[in-house]
Amino acid sequence: MPIIMGVDGGGSKTFTVISDENGNLLGKGVSGGGGGNYQTVGIDKAVENITASIEAALKSAGLDYKDIDFVQYGLAGADRPKDNAIIETGLKRIPFENWNLVCDTMEGLRIGSKNFTGVVLVCGTGTNAAGRNKEGKQIQVGGFGYFFGDYAGGAAMAQETFRAAVRSWEQREQPSVLTEKVPKYFGLNNMEELFNHFLDNDIYHAPNDLALILHEAADEGDALAISLMETMGKELGLAASAVIKNLGDLDQPIPIVLTGSIVQKGQNKYLLDALQNTIEADHQKEIELVIPEMEPVYGSVLLGMDHLGITATDDIYEKFNSYGGYEE
């Protein structure tokens, strides 16, 4: 019975799962050291994190490297031929004979589109948009950071949340509960204390988890937080729209698969509405927002099954939906 391993390497974690051909989960492991995106941690650290997650999964399953029939890597940062050449050189250090590499966007598309066509938006630490049509043509829009046009994702949300709190406190923006929630998040009493603490200690960056405060404030109806969410949604919508333009012919309704913690777990209604409205305003085509229950890592397993000619049945999809994430 073939044994398939899927590896999902993002900006902050690397998650590995092992499955048999019937979708039974044999083992899983997560790297405690961080992500598998070589663009953010370097290739040596990325391979170290990927290997750590693999060895944790093998240990969980009671298996060895030689027991794995096929490995599918889905890694953030696998964007261009140059990237792939660097990553593949690193992955060759890991003792597997049969493996394949795709950008993490493709594993995301695979979990939300059974025929592996449509658009996928990844919005976790960073953001990326990609798509695939029935001829197998693939397009990527974004994924290279703010300097190259991106403006969304958890890291961007965190910075904008901090900025909005400062601007609201200074009355450059409308009043907002962010002026209470942001200092509290950092264990400080008020905005003046927060402002001086950051400047006195030369701190010019907010942790990505501050994006959770933005979600919280928007859910409570805070107008400034809602406007930031809508801005992020519009940016994601513009990226999805660009993918559709570049791919051309896509069967309708076009699935817009949303993966990553911000959209898959956060599911903020203001962000999602702005995203959908932006796409629909740009295209006279029917679209469908798809927020998978399945963790992206199982997209790598499904791609591995495709590679081995194994049909992913409804039962397998149900199993993968039920397994949850690395926290479970």
* DSSP H helices in the chain: 38-41, 43-61, 81-91, 104-112, 154-169, 178-185, 191-200, 211-219, 223-247, 269-282, 297-308, 314-322
190 and 240 housed in the same domain: yes
pTM: 0.84
List all residues 6 or more positions away from 82 whose beta carbon is below 8 Å from its beta carbon.
none
Write out pLDDT tens, residues 136-165: 999 999 888 889 988 888 889 999 999 999
Q: Phi-psi category of 142—alpha, beta or left, where left has phi over 0 and alpha has psi -120 to 50?
A: left
State residue 35's pLDDT score.
Answer: 87
State residue 328's pLDDT score.
Answer: 52
Strand pairing class (3-9; 70-75): parallel
280 within domain boundaries: yes
Asked if 48 and 97 touch (Cβ cutoff 8 Å), the reply is no
209 and 136 housed in the same domain: yes
State residue 163's pLDDT score.
Answer: 97
Q: What is the CATH number of the domain that holds 224?
A: 3.30.420.40
The residues with which 9 forms a beta bridge, in sequence order, are: 14, 75
Name the domain count of the chain.
2
* Percent of the residues in the chain that have a pLDDT greater than 70, as a whole number: 99
Tokens of 319: 């199993």
Per-residue pLDDT for the chain (328 aa), expressed as one digit of tens each? 899 999 999 877 899 999 999 999 999 999 977 789 998 899 999 999 999 999 999 999 999 999 999 999 999 889 899 999 999 999 999 999 999 999 999 999 999 999 999 999 988 777 889 999 999 999 999 888 889 988 888 889 999 999 999 999 999 999 999 999 999 999 999 999 999 999 999 999 999 999 999 999 999 999 999 999 999 999 999 999 999 999 987 888 999 999 877 777 778 899 999 999 999 998 878 899 999 989 999 999 999 999 999 999 999 999 999 998 776 5
State residue 283's pLDDT score.
Answer: 85
| DSSP assignment string, 159-227 | HHHHHHHHHHHTTSS---THHHHHHHHTT-SSHHHHHHHHHHTT-----GGGHHHHHHHHHTT-HHHHH
Can you tell me the distance from the alpha carbon of 18 to that of 132, in angstroms, rounded to the nearest whole number? 26
250 and 155 housed in the same domain: yes
Write out pLDDT tens, residues 237-262: 999 999 999 998 788 899 999 987 77
* CA atoms lying within 13 Å on the CB side of residue 165: 27
Can you tell me the distance from the alpha carbon of 25 to that of 325, in angstroms, rounded to the nearest whole number? 12
**85 is in which domain, residue-wise?**
3-97+294-322
Can you tell me the distance from the alpha carbon of 325 to that of 192, in angstroms, rounded to the nearest whole number? 39
Can you tell me the distance from the alpha carbon of 120 to that of 289, in angstroms, rounded to the nearest whole number? 10
Q: Phi-psi category of 202—alpha, beta or left, where left has phi over 0 and alpha has psi -120 to 50?
A: left
Nearest residue to 158 (alpha-carbon basis) of 172, 146, 141, 170? 146
189 and 146 housed in the same domain: yes
299 and 208 housed in the same domain: no
| 102 exposure class (CB count in 10 Å sphere: 0-12, 13-18, 19+) | buried
154 and 41 housed in the same domain: no
104 within domain boundaries: no
